[in-house]
Amino acid sequence: MPGEAPPIDPELVRVIAETRGFMPDDEGAALRRWAFEALTRVPSGPIIEVGSYCGRSTLWLADAARIAGGHVVTVDHHRGSEEIQPGWEHHDPEVVDPRSGRMDTLPHLRRTLERAGMEDLVTVVVGQSSVAGGLVRSGASMLFIDGGHGDAEARVDAATWLDHVAPGGLLAIHDVYPDPADGGRPPYERIYRPAVDSGRFVEMAAVGSLRVLERSR
Ligand SMILES: C[S@@+](CC[C@H](N)C(=O)[O-])C[C@H]1O[C@@H](n2cnc3c(N)ncnc32)[C@H](O)[C@@H]1O
C-alpha cells in the first residue's frame, strides 16, 4: 500500500464529480494515493499525464501534487481520440467547438483547473503526445498514460514516454484489460505488457482498469 495521503476535501470531490471524463472515483482515488507515494519517492520529478481531456483525472493527480509540493504536466492535443469522435459511443457533443465542428476540450480543462483552484499546480501542454515527449524533461515521479487507445497511438506512447519515469518512480496506465472480454486491447498489449516484459517495471497495484507499476531502481 502507498503512504497515507490526507483525506481529500469534499468540495474537490464535488468538482471532480461534475467534471466530464472517464476516470471512475475508486480509480481516481487510487491514482491520487499512488501519485502521493510517487512524490515521496521522487520529490524532484513532475507527475506527467498523457491524456488530459477535461481534467477529471488531472484533478486527482493535482491534489496529490498540492499535498506533497509537486507539480503536474498534462499533455493532450484536445482534438479527442478516435474512439470519442462524433458517431462513437463515448462522444460528447458538448465538447465540440461550434465554430469549427471539431472537438476542443482545452476550454473545459482550463475551466476545471480554475474551478478547483489548481491552475498553479498544473502545466497544460497542448500538442501531439509523441512530439511533447521529446520536449518535456524526464525523471518523472509518476507517469500516467491515458491517451489514444488505438493500437498505433498506444505503441507510440509506450515508445515515447516509458523512459521518462525516474528509477523508483511509478507508471500508471488506464484501461488495462488483460481479458479481451472486458475491453480494448492496446493499453494492455502495447503499454502494460511491454513495460512488464522489459523487466524494468513491476506491478504494484490494480484497481479496476488502472494498473500501477514501479520502475526498478
Ligand atoms: C480517454 S481520454 C483521457 C481521459 C482523462 N484522463 C480522464 O480521466 O477524464 C484520452 C485523451 O487523449 C487525447 N489524445 C489521444 N491521442 C493523442 C495524441 N496522439 N496526442 C495527444 N493527445 C492525444 C485525446 O484528445 C483525449 O482527450
Residue 45: CATH number of its domain? 3.40.50.150
CA 6 to chain CA centroid, Å, is 21
Nearest CA to ligand 1 atom 24: 80
16, 53, 61, 109, best to mutate for ligand 1 pocket (most atoms within 8 Å of CB): 53
| Alpha-carbon span 189 to 208, nearest angstrom | 17
Single out the catalytic residue among 71, 77, 149, 174: 149
In a domain, 2, yes or no: no
Q: Are strands 201-207 and 210-215 parallel, antiparallel or unpaired?
A: antiparallel
Q: Which atom of ligand 1 is nearest to 127's Cα?
A: 21
- Tell me, yes or no, whether 182 lies in a domain: no
CA of 200 to the centre of ligand 1 (A): 25
Residue with the nearest Cα to atom 17 of ligand 1? 148
Is residue 149 flagged as an active site residue? Answer: yes
Please indicate whether residue 172 or residue 89 has the higher confidence score (pLDDT): 172
- Work out the percent of the chain whose per-residue pLDDT is above 90: 93
Calculate how far, in angstroms, residue 128's C-alpha sits from the geometric centre of ligand 1.
10
Q: Going by CA atoms, what residue is nearest to atom 27 of ligand 1? A: 53
Phi-psi region of 171 (alpha: psi -120 to 50; beta: other; left: phi over 0): beta
Mean pLDDT of all residues in 96-111: 97
Asked, for residue 105, whether it belongs to a domain, the answer is yes
pLDDT at residue 1 in the model? 67
Has residue 4 been placed in a domain?
A: no
Q: Is residue 178 part of a domain?
A: no
Q: Is residue 149 part of a domain?
A: yes
What is the Å distance from ligand 1's center to 167 Cα? 26
- At 29, the pLDDT band (50, 70, 90 cuts) reads very high
| pLDDT exceeds cutoff 80 at 78 | yes
Domain tally for the chain? 1
- CB-ligand 1 contact for 147 (6 Å cutoff): yes
Instruction: Check whether 89 has a pLDDT greater than 90.
Output: no
Q: Is the CB of 77 under 6 A from ligand 1?
A: yes
Question: Is pLDDT above 70 for 33?
Answer: yes
Task: Say if CB 141 and CB 48 are below 8 A apart.
Answer: no
* Beta bridge mates, 50: 75, 145
What's the chain's average pLDDT? Answer: 96
- Can you tell me whether residue 168 is helix, strand or coil? strand
The closest of 106, 35, 107, 37 to 71, measured between CA atoms, is 35
148 CA from centroid of ligand 1 (Å): 6
Name, in order, each residue with C-beta under 8 angstroms of 131's C-beta and a sequence gap of 6 or more.
none
Residue 158 falls inside a structural domain: yes
- Cell triple for residue 167? 528509477
Among 103, 83, 107, which residue's Cα sits nearest to residue 93? 103
pTM of the model: 0.98
Domain span holding position 86: 10-173+192-215
- Whether the pLDDT of residue 199 is over 90: the answer is yes
Assess if residue 28 is contained within a domain: yes
